[in-house]
Amino acid sequence: MTTLTYLIPVALFLGGMGLVAFIWALRSGQYEDLDGAAERILIEDDVAPRR
């Protein structure tokens, strides 16, 4: 029973951290261009794009 007194707050705190992290990511615009994010991994930063 005593373990519950700290395990439950710990569980809720960790879950809450996840929620806060998600909302932060949402606010900072990381979900605004999902297609672009998927493609950008293919761009090589070191080589300047040439055309």
Partner 1 sequence: MTCCAPGAEAAADLLTTTLSPDELRLASRQLGDGTSQVELSVPAVHCAACIATIEGSLARLPEVTGARVNLSTRRVTVKWRGDKLPPIVETLSRIGYPPHLFQDGEVGKDRTFAELIRAVAIAGFASGNIMLLSVAVWSGADGATRDLFHLISALIALPTLAFSGAIFYRSAWSALRHGRMNMDVPIAVGITLAYAMSLYETLTHGPHAYFDGVVSLLFFLLIGRTLDHMMRDRARAAVIGLARLAPRGALVIDEAGRRDYRDLAEIAAGDRLLITAGERIPVDGRVEDGASDIDASLVTGESRPQAVAGGGMVRAGTLNLTGPLTVVATAPASDSFLAEMMRMMEAAEGGRTRYRRIADRVSALYAPVVHLTAFITFLGWLAINGDWHQAMTIAIAVLIITCPCALGLAVPIVQVVAGRRLFEHGVMVKDGSAMERLAEADTTVFDKTGTLTLGRPRLVNADDIATELMPIAAELAAHSRHPLSQAIAREATSNGAAPVFADLIEKPGFGIEGRTQGSTWRLGRASWASEGQAADESGTVLARDGRIVANFRFDDVLRQGAAKTIARLKQEGRLVEMLSGDAEPACRATAEKLAIENYAAGLLPAGKVERLEELAREGRKVLFVGDGLNDAPALGAAHVSIAPATAADVGRNAADFVFLRESLEAVPLAIEVSRRAGRLIRQNIALALVYNAIAVPIAILGYVTPLIAAIAMSGSSILVIANALRLLAGSRAPATSVEAEKRPSSLEPAAAS
Chain residues in the site for partner 1 (CB under 8 A): 1, 4, 8, 11-12, 15-16, 18-19, 22-23, 26, 31-36, 39-43, 48-51
Q: How far apart are CA 22 and CA 27, in angstroms?
A: 9
Least separation in angstroms between residue 36's CB and partner 1 is 3
Least separation in angstroms between residue 35's CB and partner 1 is 4
Any idea which residue has 């806060």 for tokens? 20
Structure tokens at 17: 């951290």
Q: Which sign, positive or negative, has the C-alpha torsion 35, 38, 42, 44?
A: positive
Least separation in angstroms between residue 33's CB and partner 1 is 4
